[in-house]
Amino acid sequence: ACLVGSEMCIRDRAVGLRTTVLCLFQEGERVFGALGLASFSHPVPLDPESLAFLHLAKEAFAGWLFQTWHAEALMESFSRLLERLDLETEGHMRRVSQLAVGLGRWAGVKDLFGLRLGAYLHDLGKLAIPEEILHKEGPLVTREWKVMKTHPEVGYEVLAPVSFLPKTALDVVLYHHEHWDGTGYPRGLKGEEIPLAARVFAVVDVWDALRSKRPYKPALPPEEAKELLRKEAGRKLEPRLVEGFLALLEEGALDEEPRKR
Ligand code: C2E
Ligand code: SIN
Ligand code: SIN
Ligand code: FE
Ligand code: FE
């Protein structure tokens, strides 16, 4: 439905609005959003033709909104699946997504939505890693490392056909274990060869791994985790991003969620 009005006031003060159009997004009876359009300088004639055009624009926008929401819902159920399988601890993926978007915005990543989806999906490939390696309590031996290191590529292969996934999300999945100094996997990319979103995500992933309990290591308190993160600047991680991340943490700008364990 589109409501068309004119000569609107806000709090009794004339704001020079000439024409307003309010499009409601509905699924059956339920209104789930609205698009407001207004012209200030001169009235816009709303002939049947422009109304038909508005209707088309509205449909396209509603379709996009819906797709975005479906992607969100998929991410949520996917992270629950991983939690149920004990591949990820409670809230890990929601937490890394929030932190990644915070750092990504600071670093100038354009596709924050893609970064967020990638953060949710980064370890999907771990589903293909045998239980005894994944939950091993000690360090991995060479043969086990070889298997573990396949997880970014496995995840990428599984996700590549999903048409709504932006390239940024796939970059994060495939390249989240590349190192700034070129010693990472799967490709051994170096420095800015690694897509920005993957460089951003790597900082957050290492931070969260340090702060969380893993089968092979205890959770570290914040000060120790910061210390170790700093040591990775210039090695695994891009120095500028480590500095930025630590500064954002100090400012409380990242709003880290409390963790359960
Ligand atoms: P993860 O546990 O999510 O760790 C993600 C990344 O955080 C690691 O990537 C590493 O770069 C960093 N990280 C984690 N813990 C530490 C730490 O104690 N010190 C430092 N400096 N960095 C740390 P990485 O190394 O490529 O490992 C990928 C995945 O392989 C890990 O994901 C984990 O699932 C597994 N893994 C790594 N090391 C071990 C291990 O010693 N034993 C077992 N069972 N699994 C391991
Ligand atoms: C971006 O800013 O989101 C893409 C740039 C890059 O991946 O290097
Ligand atoms: C934003 O928070 O600016 C949009 C990125 C997202 O979907 O989280
Ligand atoms: Fe990983
Ligand atoms: Fe992870």
Per-residue pLDDT of the chain (261 residues; tens, 9 = 90+): 445 544 444 444 456 677 777 878 777 788 777 777 777 777 777 788 878 888 888 888 888 877 777 777 878 788 788 777 767 666 778 888 999 999 999 999 999 999 999 998 899 899 889 989 998 999 999 999 999 999 999 999 999 988 778 999 999 999 999 999 999 999 999 999 999 999 999 999 999 999 988 889 999 999 999 999 999 999 999 999 999 999 999 998 886 665 654
Locate the DSSP E strands across the chain: 2-6, 9-10, 13-14, 19-27, 30-39
| Pocket lining: 217 vs ligand 1, CB cutoff 6 Å | yes
Q: With CA atoms as reference, report the closest residue to 171 among 126, 209, 116, 208.
A: 116
DSSP state of 92: H
By residue count, the chain amounts to: 261
Atom of ligand 2 nearest to the CA of 198: 7
For residues 180 and 191, the answer to whether their CB atoms sit within 8 Å is yes
Q: Which amino acid is at 257?
A: E
| Pocket lining: 174 vs ligand 1, CB cutoff 6 Å | no
| Pocket lining: 214 vs ligand 1, CB cutoff 6 Å | yes
CA of 172 to the centre of ligand 4 (A): 10
Q: With CA atoms as reference, report the closest residue to 199 among 231, 239, 148.
A: 239
Q: With CA atoms as reference, report the closest residue to 78 among 134, 154, 152, 155.
A: 155
Tokens 């090695």 appear where?
A: 235
Spatial neighbors of 167 by CB under 8 A, at least 6 apart, are 111, 114
Residue 15's pLDDT is: 62
For residues 170 and 160, the answer to whether their CB atoms sit within 8 Å is yes
Half-sphere exposure of 110 (CA within 13 A, CB side): 4
Distance CA 137, CA 154 (A): 23
Helix (H) or strand (E) holding 152, with range, is helix 151-159
Would you state the structure tokens that stand for residue 38, as one six-digit string?
């207004």
Distance CA 231, CA 123 (A): 24
Task: Give the β-pairing of 19-27 and 2-6.
Answer: antiparallel
Q: With CA atoms as reference, report the closest residue to 260 among 207, 210, 219.
A: 219
| C-alpha dihedral (154, 159, 165, 167), degrees to nearest 10 | 40
For residues 258 and 250, the answer to whether their CB atoms sit within 8 Å is no
| Pocket lining: 169 vs ligand 2, CB cutoff 6 Å | no
Distance CA 129, CA 42 (A): 63
Kindly list the protein residues that place their beta carbon closer than 5 angstroms to ligand 4, a single-atom ion.
123
